[in-house]
Amino acid sequence: MKKVVLDTYEDVCKAAADIYIEQLKNKPNSILGLATGSTPIGLYERLVRIYNDGGINFSKARSFNLDEYYPIKKNHPQSYDYFMRGHLLDKINILQSDIPNGEADDAISECKRYDAQINAAGGIDLMLLGIGHNGHVGFNEPSVSYNMGTYLTGLTDSSISANSRFFTEDDVQPTKALTMGLGEIFRSKAILMLICGKGKAPIAKKLFEGKIHTDIPACFLLLHPNATVILDKAAALG
């Protein structure tokens, strides 16, 4: 795993954007794995600016998102579908995008459909990840075992609590999610993880201890042949 430490969050976003520019320059029809959360927002904003300036072209690229609440309407302000379209997908000329369908009647069938689409596309070329305070990636929470493909999972109490502030009293907050499994994530040809902020310093330290823990899902990336982690100093030094 390659570790890159930069001064600020803005520097992290710039470096990550440069990786996307290079990826699409070398392979215009790349399959991109995308993530939600606060960390990639700066990256998405930068990619939109670069696209508007003519510096990047997504017209032959396809994307698959990491996860989605279940059940949830696509137009719900807290759905990841809504998030991705608002921050990136509706602002660029991407050829095709796919996000797990939180409206699907049958979650198991939706997971099978999603994996089949990824496989038919040839797998993910560049997978973007963040990391949770407990080391989760997507909704792969600490556990003794992990799924290979996309699956329906219950959210932990900590995840429900952390996300509750985003839902109003009138909302029925989802307690489940559809998420790529660690096996599908690991199958990506390249992985880019962004870790920013002092609050992520403890888990960043554990990630780079060089030990594989089933209770820290992200540490399995230590085994990936082409994984890059970019941190700001706040996350790297605490």
Q: Which residues are catalytic?
A: 67, 134, 136, 141
Burial 8-27 (b: 16+ CB within 10 A, else e): ebebbbbbbbebbeebbeee
Parallel, antiparallel or unpaired: strands 31-34 and 126-129: parallel
Which residues make beta-bridge pairs with 2? 228
- Residue located via tokens 């050829």: 95
Going by C-alpha positions, the residue among 155, 164, 139 that lies closest to residue 66 is 139
Q: How many CB atoms lie within 10 A of CB 157?
A: 9
List the structure tokens of 232.
């700001």
The three-state secondary structure class of 207 is helix
In this structure, what is the dihedral angle of CA atoms 163, 168, 169, 175, given to the nearest 10 degrees? -30
